[in-house]
Amino acid sequence: TLDTEGVGQLVRLGVERGRKGNPDVHLGICGEHGGDPNSVEFFDSVGLDYVSCSPYRVPIARLAAAQAAIKHKKAK
């Protein structure tokens, strides 16, 4: 799971600055964090557009992304 207080804040800063420079930029993450449910939820909360992961992690990543989208939609 991603360290949201450390590395996560750098990701958040990168997303904010990237979108400020180009609002249409597509941002995502690849690697093992792309298949970790807690990390996927965090990436959704900071506004990443996609995750990429190992093929065997795709079902978990899709479920985590759907759950995060529902959770964040309810929070709005």
Per-residue confidence of the chain (76 residues) as pLDDT tens digits?
A: 899 999 999 999 999 999 999 999 999 999 999 999 999 999 999 999 999 999 999 999 999 999 999 988 888 6
Pairing of strands 50-52, 28-30: parallel
User: Residue 63 sits in which domain range?
Assistant: 7-75
Residue 47 placed within a domain? yes
Place of tokens 């093929």: 55
Q: What is the pTM of this model?
A: 0.87
Instruction: Domain count for the chain, please give it.
Output: 1
Instruction: Give the rounded distance of the alpha carbon of 71 from its chain centre.
Output: 13
Q: How far apart are CA 28 and CA 40, in angstroms?
A: 10
Residue 2 placed within a domain? no
Residue 50 placed within a domain? yes
